[in-house]
Amino acid sequence: MIAVIDYGMGNLRSVEKAFQYLGFDVCVTDRKQDLQDASHIVLPGVGAVADALASLSRRGLTGEIIRQAESGKPFLGICLGMQLLFKKSYENGEYEALGLVSGEVKPFRSNGMRVPHMGWNSLKITDNPLFKNGGEEQYVYFVHSYHADGVPEENVIARTEYGYEFVSAVQKDNLFGLQFHPEKSGETGLAMLKNFGGLVL
């Protein structure tokens, strides 16, 4: 079973429906037991880091998410969910995030480009199981004003150009993070979700 974490933020139903379309058993939940029972976990999200951290804390999920992420089962952060994986965020202040992946979340630098970065853009990918069967040119849908910075090179699995090159996907052992929305990225995104759902680590 794939557990999609419900903490009151994000397009949960779109993620749920994408996995259901692909034939996976999936549930949207904020119950610790469901996270413990799941074979795969997805942390989605749309919104601000501070609000997300507060919501996770109110629901008593912060510690359980860290335990499950460290358990070795496949774990995927999407958009805000990816940003929460890092050590720190500078979104409207300075916040300690989940600290599961080295790096910080910072605003786009002034580059003459419109922020938020919204719309379709291409990925410069590495050889990674998440990207198999997606083709050489993989275009995906972004909506974000902040991005990861200072990520160790061994954890970077994709970059994207938007005024300058930024990290758009990461992996650290069983943890994966996608800054874009695979559930809104057509067949390319569905291929990534199918690859994630089929991971056996």
Q: Return the domain boundaries, the chain.
A: 2-197
Asked if 94 is an active-site residue, the reply is no
Q: Give the domain 2-197 fold.
A: Rossmann fold (3.40.50)
pLDDT in tens, 6-47: 998 877 999 999 999 999 999 999 999 999 999 999 999 888
Q: Is there a contact between 118 and 143 (Cβ–Cβ < 8 Å)? A: yes
Asked if 183 is an active-site residue, the reply is yes
Closest CA to 37 of 55, 45, 20, 25: 25
What is the Cα–Cα distance from 13 to 118, expressed in whole angstroms? 21
Q: Is there a contact between 15 and 44 (Cβ–Cβ < 8 Å)? A: yes
Please tell me which residue in 64, 79, 91, 117 is annotated as part of the active site.
79
Q: What is the structure's pLDDT at 111?
A: 75
Q: What is the structure's pLDDT at 39?
A: 98
pLDDT in tens, 90-107: 999 999 999 999 999 999
DSSP conformational letter for 181: B
3-state SS class at 37: helix
Asked if 91 is an active-site residue, the reply is no
Q: What is the structure's pLDDT at 88?
A: 96
Q: By mean pLDDT, which of 24-38, 83-97, 102-116, 144-158 is the weakest? A: 102-116
Q: Is the pLDDT of residue 135 over 80?
A: no
